[in-house]
Amino acid sequence: MAFPTKSPYVIIGAGIHGLSTAYHLAVELKARGKGSGEDIIVLDKSGISAGASGIACGVIRNNYFQPAMRELMAHSVKVWESDAATYSFHPVGYMQISCESMRKDICSIYEQQKAIAYDSTLIEGRKDCTQYMQGIFSDWRAQNITSILHEKPSGYANNTKSMYGLAGKAEHEGVRIMSGVEVTALIQDNQGAIKSVQTNKGRIDCDYVVVGAGPWIKYFWDMLELPGTVDIKDSANGGKITNVPMWVYWCLEEGTLGVDPDIQKTNDGKIPPVIHVDTDAPLFSDEDGSLITEEQWGIYYKPDPHFGGIQGGAAPYKVEKNPDDVAVDPYGTESTEFIVGPEFAHMWVSALAHCQQRFSGTLAKFSRDPSGGIGAFSPDSFPVFDVFHQNCYVIADSNHGYKMLGVGKLVAEEICGEKSVLLEPHRFSRFSEGKLHPVSNSPFPWS
């Protein structure tokens, strides 16, 4: 088939956002009598889920201190539920298990989840928390836990299966997904709108462009000649203005413990919820008893046959590299070292053993298979969803990506002329207007 020279809609990136937007836009165009999936092309320099979406942990949760994020995630969970089989979604639940410094935040999240009818249970106090957890896992022993938020509709999805399921839905609607096509330039007309997408295979004239490039966002941000730094207005501090880089990179440390996933079944033999623990209890090595940290630490984990064991991660750290180098190749050879280094394995498996006795003595079974990745974070660590140059919709997920399946649906509706209340808090203008998302006490920048 000849390389196309024109398409009404060109979507860059065959990850969660690109494919979700493509599928939902095809549905919207058809329903509104404005076109069909045959008007849409998805371009990816590698292939379907070749980047962050392909190695994501796959956790789907609503646990956000920020109201705008919580409402957006509730919407996304409904989209996951709409075709759970195709999306390989497992609504096993999600548990935020926390120490006293986070208790107030967790209680606030619970109250606001009730307000949007998101089913969850709150447990408070050390004794009640321990009793609740041991009712699920008899070997539970995590220390300094004073609150638990147990979300019932949340869970996880098998990332590769869900991505190919989503691609199949898009292709069924007539969308064309083209692998091995690298975008090298976005060409503007005299009014500044994007008129063409230049690729290594040729030029495609278009009416509308969507950028859903995940950690490669800075590469396209620069291509669009958008600002490399941004003025942040601090409304809570007299309107003070601070100029900061638009994009910074964090390494998301994740890995897999190569044990039988069934080792993590609950007391009654069921698949367990996803577990997320944040505690200020000292963490000691499960290997030699040495102190790993006295600072607050956090981990998350779940059994996952797709990864072949217990898969999860810990709090990320900033990548000390030139941002321009990372932007071009966030998954270069050095990133593997970031993700599966021995220090992370030691900390994470020791943390698992701190939480549950069944994981003690399992460090030797840690797998070095790729997981996690490099994330491009905005100044407040939350997404930017906005239109630039009149006809270029930028989906910059700030590493909240995989769980936000529903963003593509909202973006598709906006492209078709229907403004989204859920996306409004995530406009680029929030930085200069001082409309930043509130900050929680979690050690994770995305919470």
Q: Which domains does the chain have, with CATH numbers?
A: 1-58+158-230+381-447 (3.50.50.60)
DSSP helix/strand/coil, 340: coil
Q: What tens digit of pLDDT does each residue of 44-86 get?
A: 999 998 887 777 778 999 888 888 899 999 999 999 999 999 9
Query: What is the structure's pLDDT at 371?
Result: 63
Confidence of residue 349 (pLDDT cuts 50, 70, 90): very high
- Say if residue 342's pLDDT is above 90: no
Q: What is the mean pLDDT of the chain?
A: 91
Q: What tens digit of pLDDT does each residue of 364-379 get?
A: 999 866 566 778 899 9
Whole-number Å distance between alpha carbons of 430 and 447 = 18
Whole-number Å distance between alpha carbons of 49 and 14 = 6
CB 15 within 8 A of CB 401: yes
Whole-number Å distance between alpha carbons of 140 and 241 = 47
Confidence of residue 439 (pLDDT cuts 50, 70, 90): confident
pTM of the model: 0.92
Confidence of residue 138 (pLDDT cuts 50, 70, 90): very high
Whole-number Å distance between alpha carbons of 383 and 288 = 41
- DSSP secondary structure letter of residue 436: P
Whole-number Å distance between alpha carbons of 146 and 143 = 9
Q: What tens digit of pLDDT does each residue of 281-315 get?
A: 999 999 999 999 999 999 999 998 877 899 999 88
Q: Parallel, antiparallel, or unpaired: how do β-strands 194-199 and 183-188 relate?
A: antiparallel
> Tokens standing for 213?
């490039």
H or E segment to which residue 106 belongs? helix 103-115
DSSP helix/strand/coil, 26: helix
